[in-house]
Structure 1
């Protein structure tokens, strides 16, 4: 088993670590590593494909990393459905990019937006897209817990395996390693495209677009996605609706940036936006005009953040253009402060009012703003997700600001998000999602997610009584 000293860098650029990392290649090596850690009272952190935005895969100072990227396994076709969809069994260490190479005419239904995330990582994080949860399309998985046992987990499994099926999604590597999983993929037909339509572009005041978003959700219109974007502190909002179309040969629609295959151009644009985020809002306002339609390939639309995921590799390279960009002050890490809130449906407008009221007290941050977006998800069946227990589903509101590490606006952005977190939870029961960064006091985070912590801690005591598995995030939660 190879052991290396590795630099670990979270997406979003705020968090980094240098750690000793073990790289097992077989389940037997992984089980031996767990056994050794128990015997020597060492702690381990599962780092997977290293694609989280926060401190989920960063080991605390007394822990080693465990990379699952080299675990052996093969992908197998299990069955084909009448509509052309398929069920496959794949290694948990496989990335969505690699899965697509094996099944180029199929895509997962609700994956995260980056294609170099591993399948196991997406399930353990209970990832989602704009209309649903990735875990909905996973019907079974094999999990190795730190005691070395392997569990065949599915909805009807009795006892511990059934509990693990329900609580692994959203457990962020606290319960074990997902060795394999079975998931459903849908067929991508020839010439099918994603069509993105600007449905509303108008003042935020009055939240007309917000109510139309709720109407679209209830009617099922635009089933590929629906999203609402807010510009500035109390500026305009834009509502997008997405669906799959087969355009006529003569129909020409503009490509939407980030969803096309011009990866390097998109990386450069993101680097410039991160350096001068104040340019983003007016440019978006020009592009996203009401009634305008864009087309994108379904792979590019599904994994539209793939250029962001590759940005550091290119921007830190010795090539000429990246060197020029660095000379202009572009940080290859594209550092951002961001956070996502799970909002009960009935609180959607009052939460936004509170959010913008707080934002008014931080006027200097408007120039750092990259994105404020809102999506509407159905009721969540996964107990460890922040939206679980919200009748009728939830709204997920995300805010992202470009910052320079160590500078005053980073501290102000963190303070702003911390204040919103406190007021949102105490006044409205809105929780910070653990999937992204969490800019609030650990004590507040533990109060906010007390049911999560209680459920996960009880199950962890049964499968990991020596508390072998940890991470900086799990430490913050007291797990």
Structure 2
């Protein structure tokens, strides 16, 4: 096999000289892992490569599930079983066709089910958890080639951890998710003063089922998004195609791309252009199937750092971020995003054991985020923030263990299933520590 090169979606993670395998079956996944274990080689499974952290970066062997990506079954009670390499956008379409939906989604659907679960992908909604909370069963291929069928009743410790397993416990082969009857979302979007949002943040973030806002740095304005769940039977009123193309493709993606390009050439223009862009926002409403409203197209490349923090810390965090933006002279063309999620019981979930707010900051893909991300990370650390596993951060196992009450529980499962580190890489060695047999 000819060694190949790999890069992630944002281009900030790269590898060369790797062997790439495309297994079609659970048995073939087991063979790849067993052979690597015997040979003392490291394997990293990869989905769409949409993570910004080094979690998916291969060092020797890359395992790609693009040929293990089918819908297996949809049961009458909405339990949907899929091969773990299926992308979310294909799953959403298949579910909608049969009258089902996932109860919550993030704003990007290019990830595979395995990748989205393994990094803790979440959407927004004060009463709703992330994607791992929707898992009801999974099949895990361990580094020695064994196949474990896991659920709350069978291999419960492995199941609890593997719902968000970082690809460190084994390779997900199949996943069973709890779908819900298809529903629509009534979308309400428009500009709001940041001060008004922060004055009663909980009130604003619970004013509809799924609420988020995007604050434009260098301005006092944000784009507020409220989505309310409504029955499909009440009828759909989606945005006209011309309006969606004009506002989402030309104005939103086109404006961001132009702002990024201009800022790269003339950084001083970013603040006035950001203020102009924020004044161009206009209110809009529509009603459409849930997955069409949850998901937004991203036509420009960026890098991202996101922290889960206690909800009551968000106003102070954003005010300090605004102060630091001026003091440090940053030029930030991409908005900061704030979302909510309910507490859950997943050991390495960023919302494990606490109701959570997410604050995400971004820079253009080809820029250096070091000072911005490090300053943001320090601010989030002061309030007990937990980094999103798929986004950029600099924390190690010692500091993460302080923030996750069940961190030791997860590491113990990892050490039992992968004691020789077949599935580790430099990122996992940093955030989890080396497995017991190689420590």
**Normalising by structure 1, what TM-score?**
0.77
How far 1:358 sits from its partner (Å)?
2.7
Counterpart-to-counterpart distance in 2, 1:262 and 1:432: 29
Aligned length: 418
Q: Which consecutive unaligned segments of at least 5 residues does structure 2 have?
A: 264-269, 435-439
Counterpart-to-counterpart distance in 1, 2:365 and 2:421: 35
Name the structure 1 match of 2:266: none
Residue of 228, 240, 250 corresponding to 2:213: 228
Relative to structure 1, the CA distance from residue 466 to residue 261 in structure 2 (aligned partners, 3 Å threshold; closer, same or farther) is farther
Matches within 5 A, 1:402-417: 402=364, 404-405=366-367, 410=368, 413-417=369-373
Query: 2:101·2:291 contact (CA, 8 Å) conserved in 1?
Result: yes
**1:62-97 CA-partner distances (Å, limit 9, x unpaired):** x221112223765112124xxxxx221111111122
Counterpart-to-counterpart distance in 1, 2:397 and 2:233: 52
Relative to structure 1, the CA distance from residue 87 to residue 175 in structure 2 (aligned partners, 3 Å threshold; closer, same or farther) is same
Counterpart-to-counterpart distance in 2, 1:41 and 1:252: 54
Name the structure 2 match of 1:326: none
How far 1:233 sits from its partner (Å)?
4.1
Relative to structure 1, the CA distance from residue 257 to residue 54 in structure 2 (aligned partners, 3 Å threshold; closer, same or farther) is farther
Relative to structure 1, the CA distance from residue 271 to residue 232 in structure 2 (aligned partners, 3 Å threshold; closer, same or farther) is closer
Relative to structure 1, the CA distance from residue 184 to residue 256 in structure 2 (aligned partners, 3 Å threshold; closer, same or farther) is farther
Counterpart-to-counterpart distance in 2, 1:429 and 1:370: 25
Counterpart-to-counterpart distance in 2, 1:297 and 1:142: 30
Residue of 201, 212, 229 corresponding to 2:192: 201
Residue of 352, 371, 375 corresponding to 1:419: 375
Query: 1:358·1:416 contact (CA, 8 Å) conserved in 2?
Result: no
CA RMSD for the aligned pairs? 3.3
Counterpart-to-counterpart distance in 2, 1:288 and 1:339: 28
Counterpart-to-counterpart distance in 2, 1:144 and 1:360: 50
Name the structure 2 match of 1:455: 409
1:165 aligns with 2:159: yes
**1:313-337 CA-partner distances (Å, limit 9, x unpaired):** xxxxxxxxxxxxxxxxxxxxx4433
How far 1:23 sits from its partner (Å)?
1.8
Relative to structure 1, the CA distance from residue 4 to residue 271 in structure 2 (aligned partners, 3 Å threshold; closer, same or farther) is farther
Matches within 5 A, 1:248-287: 271-276=257-262, 278=270, 279=273, 281-287=275-281
Counterpart-to-counterpart distance in 1, 2:175 and 2:233: 35
Counterpart-to-counterpart distance in 2, 1:180 and 1:387: 24
Residue of 143, 147, 151 corresponding to 1:150: 147
Residue of 309, 329, 354 corresponding to 1:343: 309
Relative to structure 1, the CA distance from residue 417 to residue 266 in structure 2 (aligned partners, 3 Å threshold; closer, same or farther) is closer
Name the structure 2 match of 1:174: 168
1:435 aligns with 2:429: no
Counterpart-to-counterpart distance in 1, 2:202 and 2:134: 24
**1:166-208 CA-partner distances (Å, limit 9, x unpaired):** 112332100111111111223336xx5542233x612x3xx43
Name the structure 2 match of 1:318: none
Name the structure 2 match of 1:130: 124
* SS across alignment from 2:208: coil
Relative to structure 1, the CA distance from residue 403 to residue 283 in structure 2 (aligned partners, 3 Å threshold; closer, same or farther) is same
How far 1:274 sits from its partner (Å)?
3.4
How far 1:356 sits from its partner (Å)?
2.8
Query: 1:340·1:432 contact (CA, 8 Å) conserved in 2?
Result: yes
* SS across alignment from 2:54: coil
* SS across alignment from 1:179: strand
Counterpart-to-counterpart distance in 2, 1:164 and 1:259: 45
Name the structure 2 match of 1:473: 427
Counterpart-to-counterpart distance in 2, 1:263 and 1:238: 16
Query: 1:22·1:66 contact (CA, 8 Å) conserved in 2?
Result: yes
How far 1:122 sits from its partner (Å)?
1.5
Counterpart-to-counterpart distance in 2, 1:119 and 1:252: 27
Query: 1:130·1:227 contact (CA, 8 Å) conserved in 2?
Result: yes
Query: 1:23·1:66 contact (CA, 8 Å) conserved in 2?
Result: yes
Name the structure 2 match of 1:15: 13
Counterpart-to-counterpart distance in 1, 2:236 and 2:151: 47
Query: 1:378·1:394 contact (CA, 8 Å) conserved in 2?
Result: yes
**1:9-45 CA-partner distances (Å, limit 9, x unpaired):** 2223322223321222222222222222121111111
Counterpart-to-counterpart distance in 2, 1:258 and 1:453: 43
Query: 2:120·2:389 contact (CA, 8 Å) conserved in 1?
Result: no
Counterpart-to-counterpart distance in 1, 2:223 and 2:43: 44
